[in-house]
Structure 1
Amino acid sequence: MMKNTPRREDGLSRERIIEESIALLDSSGESGLTFRALAERLATGAGAIYWHVANKGDLLTAACDAIVARTLLAAPVADAAPQEVIRALALGLFDAIDAHPWVGPALTRAPLQMPMVRILERLGQQVRAMGVAEAGQFAAASALLSYIVGVSVQNAANAQMGRALGGDRTAILGEVASAWSALDADEYPFTRSIAAQFPQHDDRADFLAGIELILRGIAR
């Protein structure tokens, strides 16, 4: 019998499956990535997809790895100072995770798999280029990795929460600042002191300030 949906199994590849998965994740989030939905986008059967990926976890890791690989490829390498490469890499990952919020959870659930290994390798090469002694290279690269991934994931989560609350960043941060200003002055002196600055703070600038602090520590 003729099927209502034409099948396009010719040319089906792991790369094409990953690209369609990324599009589906961007539009529908992780919960929207199902083999049924993916099969519909690819106009094929779920069985054909299983020839290329083992399960949803494998597919998520592969999609995450594709985003990470593209981000690393865009970072400067030739004739660039290691600190410059680290800044560019950090900001590239920050923006990539902000644009693809599902990448953050996928990274943290696969800490020993290729996406994290790619990032660690690139950071480690730059730490070496900075002249860090071998005994301290892992600690320095790990500190950068943990900060970059952790802050980027939190920033993406904040953005998603903001959209869920209506999307008006200024209004949301203004409410938070107002609540902080009302905290007990003896228990929360620092939080009260920064409340007025909070609604105007720049997430990317603050993120890069943290990178600078770590780079200064490594240089010393």
Structure 2
Amino acid sequence: MTTRTETSGRNAARSRPGRADRRTEALSREKIVAAAIGILDAEGESALTFRALAARLSTGAGALYWHVADKGELLAAASDDVLTRTFATLPQEADPASAIRTLALAMFDMIDRHPWVGTQFFREPWQLSMLRIVEGIGGPLQKLGVPDEALFDCGSALLNYILGVGGQNAANARLPTKIMEREPFLADVARRWKQLDPQQFPFVHRVADSLPGHNDRQQFVAGVDLILAGIEARYPAARNL
């Protein structure tokens, strides 16, 4: 939401062309977006204000409004920048199932590095960045032979899994209460699981030993493979998985 102060700053900057022009000569939308990503990665979305951004760029907050209208536009531009650079590194996969796995892992790693991105995608699912992800999933699904009437369901299942698990993994990695190393922490959780009533929690007891040493990325890919295997079983035409 644009505050009254931010709106006044934007209007004031645009009404004083002489001084504002000189101030914004060294600025560009690209520099502003890069600085915003730096703040978001280091301190989170709550720390991204036009005042903080202006301080990082050594300029006045009003000068930023020549390039970005408000925080919502800035977040959309930042997420699109991160996604564009991620997509640029993706290899060309001839096999459609491999293309989905590669995209899924790239998204997992991207959200791990930039946890605010996942929140932004869900906040504005109609933005261009989200549509690029949808297309990156949907194109291979079409090549797999998934019928048109099932494309939306299959694509949604993969999209929600990729963004949901990726976002949850990023959140878990940044829990403020997690004060010990990962494996000892998970070993302690597993120990407490085993202390529960095995009659009431039989599954928890059975998988407890798998918790400390599990690899989040491998588990994530296993989930993608399960969804793809389900698509193959449900739609026999998609048997070149």
- Structure 1 position 132 matched with structure 2 position 146: yes
Q: When the two structures are aligned, how many residues end up with a matched partner?
A: 212
The whole-number CA distance in structure 1 between the counterparts of 2:179 and 2:94 is: 42
Question: Any runs of at least 4 consecutive aligned residues in structure 1 with deviations exceeding 6 A, and if so which?
Answer: none
CA contact (8 A) 2:23 2:63 kept: no
The whole-number CA distance in structure 1 between the counterparts of 2:87 and 2:155 is: 15
- Structure 1 position 110 matched with structure 2 position 124: yes
Residue aligning to 1:194:
207
State the Cα deviation string for residues 134-174 of structure 1 (Å, max 9, x = none): 1111111111100000000000011001x642241112111
- Unmatched segments (≥5 aa) in structure 1: 1-6
Residue aligning to 2:18:
none
| Selected match of 1:65 from 77, 80, 83 | 80
The whole-number CA distance in structure 2 between the counterparts of 1:155 and 1:88 is: 18
Residue aligning to 1:204:
217
Which amino acid in structure 2 is aligned with residue 132 of structure 1? V
Residue aligning to 1:42:
57
Larger radius of gyration: 2
The TM-score normalised by the length of structure 1 is 0.91
- Unmatched segments (≥5 aa) in structure 2: 1-21, 234-241
The whole-number CA distance in structure 2 between the counterparts of 1:85 and 1:54 is: 36
CA RMSD of aligned residues (A): 1.6
The whole-number CA distance in structure 1 between the counterparts of 2:166 and 2:211 is: 18
State the Cα deviation string for residues 64-92 of structure 1 (Å, max 9, x = none): 12111221222223x52111111111000
The whole-number CA distance in structure 2 between the counterparts of 1:9 and 1:164 is: 42
The whole-number CA distance in structure 1 between the counterparts of 2:118 and 2:185 is: 23
Deviation, 1:204, is 0.4
CA contact (8 A) 2:101 2:221 kept: yes
- Structure 1 position 27 matched with structure 2 position 59: no
| Selected match of 1:90 from 104, 107, 121 | 104
The whole-number CA distance in structure 2 between the counterparts of 1:109 and 1:164 is: 26
CA contact (8 A) 1:177 1:195 kept: yes
- For residues 151 and 140 of structure 1, do their structure 2 counterparts lie closer, same or farther at Cα, with a shift above 3 Å needed? same
State the Cα deviation string for residues 185-208 of structure 1 (Å, max 9, x = none): 111100111111100111000000
The whole-number CA distance in structure 1 between the counterparts of 2:137 and 2:145 is: 13
Residue aligning to 2:24:
9
CA contact (8 A) 1:123 1:144 kept: yes
Residue aligning to 1:52:
67
Residue aligning to 1:3:
none
